[in-house]
Amino acid sequence: MFRIIFAISLLLCCSAKVLKICQLIDKNAKGLPTHLGSLRVALDDVEREINRTFTFQIVHKLYDSTSLDAVRKMKICNEEGVVAFIGSLGVNWGPEAVYAGVLNLPIINSDFQYKMQKEDALNRPTLVNMRPSLIKLSSSIFAIAKSFGWRSFSIVVDKGDDFSTVVEEIRTLSRFMEVSINEVIYISGIYSTESKNYTFEKSKQLHKRYKDVVKSSSEKTRIWVVFGSSNIKRFLTALDESGLNSDGGYAVIGVDKEPYDPNSYRIKKQARHIYKSVVLLLHRHPLYTKEVDRFILKSQNISSGEPYSVRTFKSENIALMRATFKVDGYQLYDGAKLLGRGLVRQEEITNSTNGTAIIKRLTGSTFTSIQGYEMSIDELGEVMPNYTVLAFTKKNKNVLQQAGSFYYKRGNVSDVEFSIENQIVWAGGRVPISDPKCGFKGEKCQFETNWLLLSSLLGVSLLLLVGLIFAIRHYRYEQALGKLMWKIHQKDLIFLDSNGTPISKDSRKQSKMSYTNDDCLLDATEEEEESVEDFTKLLNDTNQNIKGDSKKFFCKVASYRSHIVAIKEIYAYKDLEITRNFKKRMHELKHLQDDNLNRFIGVCLDIPRKVLLVSAYSQRGSLRNVLDDSDINFDDLFKCNLVSDLIKGMIYLHDSEIGAHGNLKSTNCLIDSRWILRITDFSLDSFKSSHQPRTSSASRDYSFLDQLSEEDAVKLFWTPPEVLSCPTLRNSQKVDSYAFGIILHEIHSKLWPFESYNLHSQEIIRQIMENNLKPDLTFYDDKPLPNCVKLCMEDCWSDISYERPDFKTIYNKLKPLRKGLKSNFYDNMISLMENHANNLENIVACRTRELTEEKKRSEALLLRMLPRSVAEQLKRTNEVLPEQYSCVTIFFSDIVGFTRMASRHTPMEIVHILNDLYSSFDSVIGEFDVYKVETIGDAYMVVSGLPERNGDNHAAEIASMALKLLQAFNSCSLHERKNWDEILQLRIGIHSGPAAAGVVGHRMPRYCLFGDTVNVASRMESNGLPMKIHMSEDCSTLLDKLGGYEITKRGPISIKGKGEMTTYFLEGEMEWRKKMKSKRNVRRLSSTSVLNNIPDKQLLAPSPGSNKRKRPQSCRRFLSDSEERRKLENIDLNSKFDLKKNNDTMVTNGVNGDYDNFIDVKPITTSTSFSNPLSSNENEKYPV
């Protein structure tokens, strides 16, 4: 197979067209470059792209650094049939490019930096220069100066360096860039570090030269452009030693021709401060990826082999490999790849090489470099520069990082912009300026102090500052109003039922689509209406849960941001308009903070014509709920604390911007978990525009009373007469004083307002309006009303509203109530908690007695469901170990033709028949030492000999029981049922043998039997005859041994799964056996267990604590709706019998034969131990 593949590949290679490329290499260079292999890597990549339809062959030619020799080698290559040239050309490479143009072959220069002129492009039409010339640095330098606002700078350059050509170009461009050159400073070549004459002995002279340059030029300039990496470092050192680097008034643009390497610019900690005044301009470094690393390794490997044999740097550290690889290698790769693609495309078009056409396609094009950047070639055939700027930025103040990028417009290098991407950190904290405002020596500025102008400016500044402060405050206030922090979306509210479980909305949501001729568009309006309908349905479900019997929550509740909140509905006859005044009032409510005010959370306005007020939920409900609870003991301390909290809350509310409550009543006073009273539902007048107003006049109008329901009339008990006549007067502090008097009466009497008058609610309202009816002050059972309280109530109920006291006056009037009480709030709370603890002890004692009774009932019920020994073991260890029994007798019976019978009658008729039949069976088996395992359909299974062993008597017990059951079946009244024409016949099978028994599973545990004995007993029943007791030979042998039974041999029959077996019929029992059995039954029944003393109805009756009833007086006080009470009421009485902390109910079908009463306990799930009793195959009912 490998040979075939190799042959095919060889055939394809041989059929592909070969394109020869001449690589020109300067043999006199200082060592051959280590990147020469990049050419082969690029051409291999091109071959893979074109599926090797063309192959490239490289012709290597070495020349002696002269153009003449290079042209001579190019001529040789042309004779050999090359189609393109590529390589590192010399300084004067014009003849080579001209010769390539004459041959009309493309030539790629990948190394030398040269200034391309327009006339060069015309004379060299087939040339592309892959390395930007240094002359293009000039435009980038001007772009940096322009971005920082520098209008002048000086230049420091090494004399005779390559950068000297850049200086001339900068001078030329400065005429058009509106940037002046202060001076050009040449560092003498004899001192340059690149000079051959440089020695370490002259290092001090060179350093002094740089200091002199800094000193002399600093008087003329603030910005320097320094070329060359060694010059940059020495110039910055001299600048720092001169003290000009500390204040940030000077800056240096450092220009380097080498590409940026992150590892090369890690500045040492002690030298970082000198680089805070410099921005470095240099080529970008490649974006190192796995593809770039693969390219570097492959290029180095090829360069070290034939024909180059260059000594390359190899290391397992890829970072070192990246650092040593020159940028020339990337440029050679890019140029070779562009050349290869151009040659292939030209061959595909014209089947010939046209260098001018290839280069024309490349000029003005954009390509993706191996370095990871998008690069372009200008109209002169030269690659556009890819410079970057390094500086200390705010992202990292310790490492030089990229601060910005250059953007060339329309491919023109002279039209370039510099964009700052990361903010630069300068030495003085600001960008240096190129030209000081007052000149370099201060000659431009001469100040004369004008005190009048200065004072005027100061005064205007203060006025502006004050105005600005007020403007900012107003702006922030308007911003806060506009944010609608009080508005709550319906999606944020998760309604809870009475058990605290979220009410989920119907997930069956059908997307309604509105169709047009062009497209199928979703009708957002219909979706929104559906969302509102779902939300309204959830709200109604919450209302129904609150109206139920559960008292976990006292109002409509929801979960909002993981907190339980109270929901209050306000119905409206029209949608509410969100005006600025409304926003202002909601903002005020949102920011009300007081210990005695219930926290306002927000408003939900998503339901049409309905407003939902969302506020903090108080666990103990309203003050009215607490007053109605007979378990709470209202002593003087408790009353005083409630009244004090109410007065404090109202004082704070009246002093706030809200001004008044307007709807104060005991149902609007909430009690939290710490027994602190908090006022809620204040400022409901904000929603008055959404209510249907009731017209009012000066004369009293009673017509609205006929429209009031009983519930609505009760809500008006706290309303003074003048408000009943004119509802617009509601928002008044005097109205709150009247309502406080009613609440004070409720706290001291624990009665509803006007309860003692025994009048209808509507009539009470009428009497208030006509006669100013007041609550009865004499209706007190415990002790007389304190005089100060009585006087305060009468003052609050004054007919003249302005004579009613305010809450500060009320506070002083009720000071006698606090006489004798501890002034410390925490002492009062401790006393309150002590009384609370004493009442808790009484209630715990009552609940303990109830728990003990319930425990006895649960144990009795468990013994009805499992054998006593199994139940005791289950209670002790929470598990029952399986047990092997050497010999037991198993009884099976079913009704002949039950499947046919079940198909002809209704399920309820079948249930009634089986219930009557097996109820009579259950009464019979109580006379014998047997255990009823279970009933499934018409099958009835009984066993004897387990769980209590009885020797060999198990066979006799089952035999006698079978005869008795057959007799009971014949005598029962099932055959005489109305509308029942079926003849019922019983089929019985018994067998004796070994078996295992145990409780299976933790969920719905059952006491089950296992073993072949169960199978054989089932076969005895299925192969028996109607109204006959069919038994095996093993059972017959035991009965013969015991004696007293009449047995008839049936003979051998075929049994499924067992082959032929000899079986017998049990015909009856002898008289002496019956008499012996009767005596034993009398002895056993005389020693029945305690379970027979508990009636079935009482066993299955509900727990005494499950229904509401009156508790003893000692259990009533101070516990209603508290956390402790709910914890006590939720005690799991069956927790003792949980299997391995599993909360599932233990139910089994088994009933102990010792108990004469059958308990109809139905299992939670249907057992799967046996097949369906209604199966058509009656012989396959009991598989193992």
| pLDDT over 70 at 693, yes or no | no
Looking only at the bridges linking them, the beta strands covering 401-408 and 677-679 are: unpaired
Average the pLDDT over 330-355 and give the result.
Answer: 85
Joined together, the tokens standing for residue 778 give 């004499």
Joined together, the tokens standing for residue 302 give 């090829």
Average the pLDDT over 728-739 and give the result.
Answer: 87
Supply the pLDDT for residue 883.
Answer: 87
Looking only at the bridges linking them, the beta strands covering 278-283 and 520-522 are: unpaired
Greatest CA separation for the chain: 146
| pLDDT over 60 at 810, yes or no | yes
Q: Which CATH superfamily is domain 884-1092+1139-1152 in?
A: Nucleotide cyclase, GGDEF domain (3.30.70.1230)
Angle 962-964-967 from CA coordinates, rounded to 5°: 110
Supply the pLDDT for residue 92.
Answer: 53
Return d(Cα 820, Cα 646) in angstroms, integer: 20
Looking only at the bridges linking them, the beta strands covering 986-1000 and 883-895 are: antiparallel
* Nearest one of 128, 135, 68 to 332, comparing CA atoms: 128
Number of alpha helices (DSSP H) and beta strands (DSSP E) in the chain: 34, 33
Average the pLDDT over 628-633 and give the result.
Answer: 78
Q: What residue spans define the domains of the chain?
A: 15-132+290-383, 134-288+389-420, 453-480, 484-509+527-540+557-579+589-617, 623-821, 884-1092+1139-1152
CATH architecture of the domain covering 134-288+389-420: 3-Layer(aba) Sandwich (3.40)
In the numeric block, the tokens 């979703």 are attached to 522
CA-to-CA dists, residue 21 to 33, 519, 743, angstroms: 19, 58, 106
Return d(Cα 973, Cα 335) in angstroms, integer: 109
| pLDDT over 80 at 972, yes or no | no
Give, as one character, the DSSP assignment of residue 194: T
251: which residues sit within 8 A by CB, 6+ positions away?
A: 148, 150, 222, 223, 224, 277, 278, 279, 426, 431, 432
CATH of 15-132+290-383, one of 3.90.1150.10, 3.40.50.2300, 3.40.50.1370, 1.10.1040.10: 3.40.50.2300
pLDDT band at 669 (very low <50, low <70, confident <90, very high): very high
Ranges 540-554, 899-913, 945-959, 960-974: which has the least confidence: 540-554
Give, as one character, the DSSP assignment of residue 577: P
Average the pLDDT over 940-953 and give the result.
Answer: 88
Residues 75-134: tens digit of each pLDDT: 899 888 898 988 876 545 678 888 888 888 898 887 655 555 655 667 788 888 887 776
Ranges 68-82, 626-640, 1058-1072: which has the least confidence: 626-640
Angle 30-34-37 from CA coordinates, rounded to 5°: 135
Return d(Cα 193, Cα 648) in angstroms, integer: 87
Residue type, 734: K
Ranges 62-66, 343-347, 543-547, 801-805: which has the least confidence: 543-547
| CATH of span 623-821 | 1.10.510.10
Residues 244-273: tens digit of each pLDDT: 877 778 889 988 877 766 555 667 776 777
Residues 1002-1035: tens digit of each pLDDT: 677 777 888 999 999 999 998 999 889 999 999 9
Residue type, 203: S
Q: Tell me, rounded to whole angstroms, the distance of Cα 182 from its chain centroid.
A: 63
Residue 351 buriedness (CB in 10 A; 0-12 / 13-18 / 19+): exposed
* Nearest one of 896, 1102, 1065, 1099 to 990, comparing CA atoms: 1065
| pLDDT over 50 at 781, yes or no | yes
Taking CB atoms within 8 Å and a gap of at least 24, the contacts of 916-924 are 916/972, 916/973, 916/974, 917/969, 917/972, 917/974, 919/1158, 920/968, 920/969, 920/972, 921/965, 921/968, 922/1151, 922/1158, 923/1156, 923/1158, 924/961, 924/964, 924/965, 924/968
| pLDDT over 60 at 521, yes or no | no
Q: Please answer whether residues 161 and 227 qualify as being in contact, where contact means their C-beta atoms are separated by less than 8 angstroms.
A: yes
Average the pLDDT over 151-170 and give the result.
Answer: 82
E strands, 275-353, where? 278-283
Q: Please answer whether residues 356 and 126 qualify as being in contact, where contact means their C-beta atoms are separated by less than 8 angstroms.
A: yes
Residues of the chain above pLDDT 90, percent: 8
Mean pLDDT taken over the chain: 75
Joined together, the tokens standing for residue 737 give 């004083």
Average the pLDDT over 341-367 and give the result.
Answer: 84
Residues 922-944: tens digit of each pLDDT: 888 888 888 888 888 888 899 99
Return d(Cα 831, Cα 837) in angstroms, integer: 10
| pLDDT over 70 at 385, yes or no | yes
| pLDDT over 80 at 666, yes or no | yes
Exposure letters 723-756 (e unless 16+ CB within 10 A, then b): bbbebebbbbbbbbbbbbbbbbbbbbbbbbbbbe
pLDDT band at 468 (very low <50, low <70, confident <90, very high): very high
Q: Please answer whether residues 1100 and 1162 qualify as being in contact, where contact means their C-beta atoms are separated by less than 8 angstroms.
A: no
Return d(Cα 1018, Cα 1182) in angstroms, integer: 6
Same CATH fold assignment for domains 484-509+527-540+557-579+589-617 and 623-821: no
280: which residues sit within 8 A by CB, 6+ positions away?
A: 232, 254, 255, 256, 260, 265, 389, 390, 391, 400
In the numeric block, the tokens 């508790």 are attached to 1111
Return d(Cα 196, Cα 736) in angstroms, integer: 102
- Give the three-class secondary structure for 181: strand
Q: Indicate left, alpha or beta for 979 from its phi (over 0: left) and psi (-120 to 50: alpha).
A: left
Joined together, the tokens standing for residue 468 give 């600005």
Residues 200-243: tens digit of each pLDDT: 667 778 888 888 888 888 888 889 999 888 888 888 888 888 88
Supply the pLDDT for residue 23.
Answer: 87
CA-to-CA dists, residue 344 to 43, 126, 369, 1126, angstroms: 11, 16, 19, 87
Q: Please answer whether residues 1003 and 1144 qualify as being in contact, where contact means their C-beta atoms are separated by less than 8 angstroms.
A: yes
Q: Please answer whether residues 753 and 718 qualify as being in contact, where contact means their C-beta atoms are separated by less than 8 angstroms.
A: yes
pLDDT band at 428 (very low <50, low <70, confident <90, very high): confident
Return d(Cα 82, Cα 61) in angstroms, integer: 12
Residue type, 189: G
* Nearest one of 599, 539, 570 to 691, comparing CA atoms: 570
Angle 672-1105-1165 from CA coordinates, rounded to 5°: 105
Average the pLDDT over 1037-1064 and give the result.
Answer: 89
Joined together, the tokens standing for residue 835 give 């009384």
Q: Tell me, rounded to whole angstroms, the distance of Cα 901 from its chain centroid.
A: 59
Exposure letters 482-518 (e unless 16+ CB within 10 A, then b): eeeebebebeebbbbbbeeeeeebeeeeeeeeeeeee
Supply the pLDDT for residue 739.
Answer: 92
The torsion angles phi and psi of 81, rounded to 5 degrees, stand at 95, 25
DSSP 495-541: EB-TTS-B-PPP---PPPEEE-SS-EEE-HHHHHHHHHHHHHHHHHH
Q: Please answer whether residues 938 and 1173 qualify as being in contact, where contact means their C-beta atoms are separated by less than 8 angstroms.
A: yes
* pTM of the entire predicted model: 0.40
Q: Where do runs of H (alpha helix) occur along 272-317? A: 290-304
Joined together, the tokens standing for residue 317 give 């550290």
| pLDDT over 90 at 994, yes or no | yes
Return d(Cα 292, Cα 87) in angstroms, integer: 21
CA-to-CA dists, residue 768 to 269, 700, 780, angstroms: 89, 12, 22
In the numeric block, the tokens 């001529």 are attached to 75
Residues 535-586: tens digit of each pLDDT: 555 555 555 544 444 456 778 888 888 888 888 888 765 667 788 888 888 8
Residues of the chain above pLDDT 70, percent: 75
Average the pLDDT over 6-14 and give the result.
Answer: 47
Supply the pLDDT for residue 463.
Answer: 93
Joined together, the tokens standing for residue 662 give 């307007």
Average the pLDDT over 852-868 and give the result.
Answer: 77
- Please say whether the dihedral angle defined by the alpha carbons of residues 874, 876, 880 and 884, taken in this order, is positive or negative: negative
Residue type, 295: F
Measured in residues, the chain has a length of 1184
Residue 155: which H helix or E strand, with range?
strand 152-158
- Give the three-class secondary structure for 869: helix
pLDDT band at 481 (very low <50, low <70, confident <90, very high): confident
CA-to-CA dists, residue 846 to 330, 1102, 1122, angstroms: 92, 18, 17
CATH architecture of the domain covering 484-509+527-540+557-579+589-617: 2-Layer Sandwich (3.30)
Return d(Cα 549, Cα 265) in angstroms, integer: 78
Supply the pLDDT for residue 593.
Answer: 86
Return d(Cα 501, Cα 545) in angstroms, integer: 11
Return d(Cα 315, Cα 1111) in angstroms, integer: 90
pLDDT band at 38 (very low <50, low <70, confident <90, very high): confident
